[in-house]
Amino acid sequence: MRTNQPQTIHLSEYKVPTYLVDTVDLCFQLYDDGARVHSTLSVRQNPESKDVSAPFTLDGDSLNLERVTLDGKALVAGDDYEETGEHLVITEVPSQFELTVVTWIEPQNNTRLEGLYKSSGMFCTQCEAEGFRCITYFPDRPDVMARYRTRIEADKATCPVLLSNGNDIDRGDLGSGRHFVTWEDPFPKPSYLFALVAGDLVEKQDTFTTCSGRDIDLRIYVETRNAAKCEHAMDSLKRSMRWDEEVYGREYDLDIFMIVAVDDFNMGAMENKGLNIFNSSCVLASQETATDLAFQRIEAIVAHEYFHNWSGNRVTCRDWFQLSLKEGFTVFRDSTFSADMGSPTVKRIEDATLLRTAQFAEDAGPMAHPVRPASYMEISNFYTLTIYEKGAEVVRMIHTLLGPELFRKGSDLYFERHDGQAVTTDDFVKAMEDASGRDLTQFRLWYDQAGTPLLTVSDNYDSEQGVYRLTIQQTIPDTPEQTNKQSQHIPFALGLLGIEGEALPLRLESTGDAANAPTERVLELTEASQTFEFYGLAQKPVPSLLRHFSAPVRVVYPWSREQLVFLMSHDPDGFNRWDAGQRLAVDVIQSLISSPETAEIEPRLVEAYRALLADLSLDQALVAKMLQLPSEAYLIELADSPDVAAIHRARERVLSHLATSLRDELVACYHANTGGGAYEVTPESIARRSLRNTALSWLLLINDDAGRDLAVKQYSDADNMTDRMGALRALVNSDYAAERSQALADFYERFQDDPQVVEQWFAVQASSDRAGQLPQVQTLLKHAAFDWKNPNKIRSVIGVFAGQNLAAFHNPDGSGYGFLADQVCRLDDSNPQIAARLVAPLTRWKKFAPTYSALMHKALGKIRDKPELSADLYEVVHKSLE
């Protein structure tokens, strides 16, 4: 906690570490009232550092230092070392030495959930990015890589299970009810990958045989009550291990791989070497308690953390500016994995939706930063959609430009060349260049320029010559500290459709024959404006632009509604079919916003949806996605000075118009997709559940009594959480007040002992414009199950209200903003990381219509004036007020 301004750290000031640490010997003595940590480091001067005879500086945060010895000799405070609050400075050291530091910490009072803390009686750690310094003094930066040996001593009854990284090499009894286990990790690693767990846990065990025939011991550790909820994570883990061997040639390297579930966790999960620690909500699942979305999320996160073993652990980041080196690449890997496990088109739609809705907004806001930022105050604020999701898109574009074979050659070279090193995004691109022979100089701008490129596309058709010309202009908007940007290298996939919907050959030369021309091409944009000519076309085609969302950019083209309807049913690219539907719906909603008196809602939209509901030959997973109207958040993102209430009204009007016009089709769709076998998590059955739950929610929106009866029955008969939650959500968002409260009460009664389900119960209310107005949300904060120390509970009420219940949050009286400001200030004292994340919706104040933005600005000012602002919150609030 601080009141003065935190320092800005610049990439340009990077210096190699002055001292290197070869080994770390740790001993943790864990007690109810605290923990003593003995740490012995073998240190030597870094031959690459120019700072000879410099003092040895270690990082520390909230530590009680008990003792320091150098080569066995006790050091004296003031004479031999100094403690400055954030550092321990050893004034004079030889070129090689052994340093022992003993600290006392209080995990039971650690509410920031960084370093060593307690979660439901269990000791656990979170060290990324800078949590290891809350455990002991250490040069806590990722380019200091050491081999760790960790001994844990604790009470046998409360902590029968003692875990750390690597292999378990020794264990024994200590008398007086205590015992110890020693772990040794043979792979050098940065401190952020250190982990420790001690508690009363049960294990679920399995085995995986690697491609070279080694048997790996797989274990998932959970509290006893969760023993039956590990199967899906274990299956996901085995699928991930196999996939990484097949697709990237990466084999697991230790003999044991462990996952631990903890209830109190700031993020989703953490890839600590050999000992991944997960937020319970990202690992535990059963048919009765987890939705399809949760099952898919768990599979993706288990894969993500596992994949980090190579992209992150074996090859790690030189400094935190390189965070996307491991996160962008690993998200790209997990996203390809999920596509391979399910429906690739649906996965692409989900990724593009997240990017276009939330990352584009971030990239246009006050915290916009490049995939490789040039500076930061608090690194925790940079675990962003830009680093993760845009970073993954950047890797995906390299994959598109190189093609799968050369990309694989590049990744092989990268892993081989840099194994055991801490490197930069530039090293990654270099490996791709060296393996492929392609020049990615201009492409590198994707790492350094923030902002979403805007592509403005225009076309004309020359009927005499049979030539179709497409002109694409790119501009990259200004972002904080960056103006006048250079053109980027953008892979732009496209196709052209003829009048019957046929895929036309794309001939870029006037000669050559049509039969050999491809029907899809990836154009490479490199200039501010480029024109492409397509030859041999008998009529003006309909362009299908930026297929598969081949680059994270906005595309503007004057599509007519007729063209969009045509693409919705004819585009061979599933992604662009969906996209055409979204553009049509956006256009219809936007025209209602600008002229709300309009009596008629575009009949072609209704007919397009009718066709979707009727045509059972279509990929039903795609249909399920196409039936989702663009979200309010996306409509806000697209608007220039959004009036949230007007957007909400217009969208609701279109929804109820569709539901009224298609009422009978919806009932038929509901029945066609109900019944039919046991619960499975496959793309087909997920699509069936999604379709019936969408139909249900639309029917309830128009107060259809038959729909209400279906919902009440589905709620009580459901044998899985997707259907139970689907029915509950439909009721909660309806005007059937009696049924809504009855279902909510029953749901809580049924699941009150399951924290992950209670979180869903909070979220379904906090996201509803019916059940989640501010007074009701305030009531949720007083509910017995709400817990100010648990990030999931905080997110499921406050985060969901501000992020998903947009009409209520943006109440024109400003009450939603004031509420969020108060909660953020309160949380800043206990958990600054969470506070700084929750404040995000307010930071976009400049975007909104003046009535909103003035009030948002005022709420931010209130936070700025809070005494003792954390560095986390300071950075976000000050940057957004600038």
Q: What are the helix (H) ranges across 343-491?
A: 344-354, 360-363, 385, 391-418, 425-436, 445-448
CA dihedral 411, 413, 416, 422 (to 10 degrees): -70
Q: Give the shortest CB-833-to-ligand ARG separation in angstroms.
A: 6
Report if residue 129 touches ligand ARG, rule: CB under 6 A.
Answer: yes
Six token digits for residue 108:
């039971």
Among 25, 223, 263, 271, which residue sits at the site for ligand ARG (rule: CB under 6 A)? Answer: 271
> Contact residues for Zn ion (CB under 5 A)?
327, 330
Q: How far apart are CA 620 and CA 630, in angstroms?
A: 18
Q: How far apart are CA 551 and CA 553, in angstroms?
A: 6
Q: How far apart are CA 415 and CA 244, in angstroms?
A: 13
Give the interface segment with ligand ARG, choosing from 125-133, 211-219, 578-586, 651-659 (CB under 6 A): 125-133
Q: Which residues pair with 711 in a beta bridge?
A: none
- Can you count the helices (H) and strands (E) in the chain? 30, 31
276 makes contact, choosing from Zn ion, ligand ARG, none, with CB < 5 to 8 Å by partner type, with none
Task: Give the number of residues in contact with ligand ARG, rule: CB under 6 A.
Answer: 14
Report if residue 267 touches ligand ARG, rule: CB under 6 A.
Answer: yes
Give the interface segment with ligand ARG, choosing from 124-132, 134-142, 292-300, 575-583 (CB under 6 A): 124-132
353 makes contact, choosing from Zn ion, ligand ARG, none, with CB < 5 to 8 Å by partner type, with none
Report if residue 605 touches ligand ARG, rule: CB under 6 A.
Answer: no
**Which residue is listed with tokens 């029917």?**
699
Q: Give the shortest CB-316-to-ligand ARG separation in angstroms.
A: 11
Q: Give the shortest CB-391-to-ligand ARG separation in angstroms.
A: 11
Q: Give the shortest CB-87-to-ligand ARG separation in angstroms.
A: 21
Q: What are phi and psi of 281, to 5 degrees?
A: -70, -15
Q: How far apart are CA 183 and CA 151, in angstroms?
A: 6
Among 25, 59, 128, 140, which residue sits at the site for ligand ARG (rule: CB under 6 A)? Answer: 128
Q: How far apart are CA 856 and CA 846, in angstroms?
A: 9
* Nearest CB to ligand ARG, comparing residues 425 and 550: 425
* Nearest CB to ligand ARG, comparing residues 487 and 790: 790
Report if residue 270 touches ligand ARG, rule: CB under 6 A.
Answer: yes
331 makes contact, choosing from ligand ARG, Zn ion, none, with CB < 5 to 8 Å by partner type, with none
Residues 379-398 that bind ligand ARG (CB under 6 A): 380, 383
Q: Give the shortest CB-433-to-Zn ion separation in angstroms.
A: 25
Q: Give the shortest CB-307-to-ligand ARG separation in angstroms.
A: 10
3-state secondary structure of 660: helix
266 makes contact, choosing from ligand ARG, Zn ion, none, with CB < 5 to 8 Å by partner type, with ligand ARG
3-state secondary structure of 789: coil
Contacts of 20 (CB under 8 A, 6+ apart): 43, 44, 45, 46, 144
Q: What are the helix (H) ranges across 501-643?
A: 561-570, 574-594, 603-614, 620-626, 632-638
270 makes contact, choosing from ligand ARG, Zn ion, none, with CB < 5 to 8 Å by partner type, with ligand ARG
* Nearest CB to ligand ARG, comparing residues 276 and 488: 276
Give the interface segment with ligand ARG, choosing from 261-269, 406-414, 465-473, 572-580 (CB under 6 A): 261-269
Residues 304-333 that bind ligand ARG (CB under 6 A): 304-305, 327
DSSP letter at 322? G
Which has the closest alpha carbon to 365: 481, 485, 454, 480? 480
Q: What are phi and psi of 262, to 5 degrees?
A: -125, 145
DSSP letter at 390? I
Which has the closest alpha carbon to 148: 100, 188, 96? 188
* Nearest CB to Zn ion, comparing residues 188 and 328: 328
* Nearest CB to ligand ARG, comparing residues 380 and 474: 380
**Which residue is listed with tokens 């305030």?**
778
Which helix (H) or strand (E) covers residue 325, if one does?
A: helix 323-341
Per-residue contact track with ligand ARG, 491 to 510, x per CB under 6 A? --------------------
DSSP letter at 128? T
* Nearest CB to Zn ion, comparing residues 327 and 828: 327
* Nearest CB to ligand ARG, comparing residues 316 and 733: 316
Give the interface segment with ligand ARG, choosing from 123-131, 219-227, 357-365, 870-878 (CB under 6 A): 123-131
806 makes contact, choosing from ligand ARG, Zn ion, none, with CB < 5 to 8 Å by partner type, with none
* Nearest CB to Zn ion, comparing residues 311 and 765: 311
Q: How far apart are CA 187 and CA 843, in angstroms?
A: 42
110 makes contact, choosing from ligand ARG, Zn ion, none, with CB < 5 to 8 Å by partner type, with none
Q: How many CA atoms lie within 13 A of 708 on its CB side?
A: 15
129 makes contact, choosing from Zn ion, ligand ARG, none, with CB < 5 to 8 Å by partner type, with ligand ARG
Give the interface segment with ligand ARG, choosing from 168-176, 263-271, 780-788, 816-824 (CB under 6 A): 263-271
Which has the closest alpha carbon to 662: 613, 623, 604, 601? 613
Q: How far apart are CA 301 and CA 504, in angstroms?
A: 40
Report if residue 266 touches ligand ARG, rule: CB under 6 A.
Answer: yes
280, 755 Cβ separation under 8 angstroms: yes
Q: Look up 305 and say whether it is catalytic.
A: yes
Active-site hit among 130, 271, 305, 350 = 305
Contacts of 511 (CB under 8 A, 6+ apart): none
DSSP letter at 501? S
* Nearest CB to ligand ARG, comparing residues 338 and 488: 338
Q: Letter for the amino acid at 475?
A: T
Per-residue contact track with ligand ARG, 445 to 484, x per CB under 6 A? ----------------------------------------
Which helix (H) or strand (E) covers residue 708, if one does?
A: helix 705-717
* Nearest CB to ligand ARG, comparing residues 59 and 305: 305
- Summarize as ranges the residues that interact with ligand ARG (CB under 6 A): 126, 128-129, 266-267, 269-271, 304-305, 327, 380, 383, 833
Question: Which residues are part of the catalytic machinery?
Answer: 305
